[in-house]
Structure 1
Amino acid sequence: MFAEERQLLIAALVTERGRVTVSDLATRFNITSETVRRDLDALEKARQLRRVHGGAVAVDRMSLSEPSLQERQTQQLDEKSRIAKAALAMIPTSRTGSIILDAGTTTEHLADLLAQWSPPAPGDQLLVITNALPIAWKLSNNPAIHLHVLGGRVRGLTSAIVGSGTIEQLGALRPDIAFIGANGVNATFGLSTPDSVEAAVKAAIVRSARRVVALADSSKLDEETLVCFAELADIDTLITDAPPSAELAAALAAADVEVVIA
């Protein structure tokens, strides 16, 4: 097989799987590790993949890669819907309850369900705090919900409200539950997101809540993006749509994180 043919196959594998290792490619194509590394170098120069320790990843899995809100709203819809339904079951049913909904498409699915929320018993109250404009808009039409929108600068790519003022407001709050999204959930790196400004707000949300529930579909598991905003031990529950890998499952268990498969 010519090198060009092999490199086309490697590029296709990376696109399909998201990640490949040098050892796997060497076995698959019956070539040396040095040859694999030369192929990966050539493909990286051609912008077909990104070299990482031990192999390569797809370009869209680079640490700074971040699709727009509109792009993410069309991805993993069924999985996000199931996760949102499982999260809805955790909404406090006490006389007065308070939650934070972080910016994100999975939390937005939860907001779609909360838009139809009604008090379980007469007089019950639910305060929803959010830093997401789409979520605020969805909940603003439900008179049964007390809505608190955090102030700050709007980040255009995600419609999240961010900045030092947002973080300061969160420091004065102590809600019952925070429902938070992440671009990556990794055994060693924890929860991460590509943008440092948004990561700072997510970290403040995690610090503020009495209980933290991470909502992440299985495409985010075992991934890591640029900025870690929470360790696994900082969250109480992970709701996802498929069982985590053995490595991540062990790390979650060690951190005493409840895993809910929706």
Structure 2
Amino acid sequence: MYAEERQQAMAQLVAERGRLSVNALSERYDVTTETVRRDLSALERMGLVRRVHGGAVPASTLAVIESGLLERDQANTPQKERIAKAALDLLPPAGSTVLLDAGSTTNRFASMLPRDHRLVVLTHAVPIAARLASHAQVELHLLPGRVRSTTQAAVGADTVAALERLRADVVFLGTNGVTTEHGLSTPDPDEAAVKRAMVHSARQVVVLADASKVGVESPVRFASLAEVDVLVTDTGIDADDEQELVDAGVEVVSA
């Protein structure tokens, strides 16, 4: 079977089944998982499927659903705890300035900040600010903007403008999706604008994302992999995905 014929068959099968994994497609068409991934990328560029973690779904049925903070906080909890703990090793020296993005994993990370390590912390996330407000070792700055109820984070022109005036040593960033083709992405354009400004304001970019985010693409890209220094994830990351990220120049830490 030629590549074009295989890809056409894959697209039709995904449309019929609703969702298929990379492994299932590999077995059905007797090709490697790497070949399947390339086929799915080609089909996605043609608008026939959308890649999701571990496989693909029909492009026509993939709705953009942004889960709320409480729902996300309850998903993959053990992995997020390990990721947050591992990220502590990436804290800059005492007296440094860090940016903390909104998100369930970054919130856990904030709760683990050592009480004997002095930091200047800037965040647009209301839950993180509330958590750190009483920490004596933290000089806390809450960024301005309109607070979204979904993420409980400030967004908008005022938030972006404030970030453009700042320079941080490290940003600890969340994301809804990570792929080599699309980079880091999120569903909401306002959230994406703030995340993009955070990336540009920091000397080092550290992404905290559990393995379920790797291989997923959300509509709005806010950073390329070339702008990412470290990805802290969990041991559930697919070996092929991890190698692709490493080949793209990202240091991957699996907790």
Aligned residue number for residue 233 of structure 1: 226
Alpha-carbon distance in 1 for matches of 2:50, 2:105: 31
1:195-214 superposed matches below 5 A = 195-214=188-207
Aligned residue number for residue 33 of structure 1: none
Unaligned ranges ≥5, structure 2: 1-13, 30-47
1:150-189 superposed matches below 5 A = 150-189=143-182
Contact 1:133 1:160 in 2 (8 A): yes
Give the AA of the match of 1:169: A
Matched, 1:52 2:45: no
Matched, 1:192 2:185: yes
Contact 2:49 2:58 in 1 (8 A): no
Aligned residue number for residue 215 of structure 1: 208
Instruction: Give how far 1:88 is off.
Output: 1.3
The two structures, once aligned, show a CA RMSD in angstroms of 2.9
Structure 2 length as normaliser, TM-score?
Answer: 0.78
SS in 2 for 1:141: coil
- For residues 67-115 of structure 1, the C-alpha deviation after alignment (integer angstroms, 9 at most, x for no partner) is 1111111111100000000111211233x1110110000000001112x
SS in 1 for 2:198: helix
CA shift in 2, pair 1:222/1:188, >3 Å: same
CA shift in 2, pair 1:63/1:254, >3 Å: farther
How many residue pairs get aligned? The number is 222
Structure 1 length as normaliser, TM-score?
Answer: 0.76
CA shift in 2, pair 1:56/1:188, >3 Å: closer
Bigger Cα Rg: 1
Alpha-carbon distance in 2 for matches of 1:223, 1:204: 22
Contact 1:63 1:226 in 2 (8 A): no
Q: What percentage of residue pairs aligned between the two structures are identical?
A: 44
Aligned residue number for residue 116 of structure 2: 119
Contact 2:180 2:248 in 1 (8 A): no
Aligned residue number for residue 10 of structure 2: none
Contact 1:182 1:216 in 2 (8 A): yes
Unaligned ranges ≥5, structure 1: 1-6, 28-50
- For residues 43-80 of structure 1, the C-alpha deviation after alignment (integer angstroms, 9 at most, x for no partner) is xxxxxxxx726985289x93622111111111111000
Instruction: Give how far 1:22 is off.
Output: 9.2
Contact 2:105 2:208 in 1 (8 A): yes
Matched, 1:69 2:66: no
SS in 1 for 2:112: helix
Aligned residue number for residue 103 of structure 1: 102
Give the AA of the match of 1:132: A
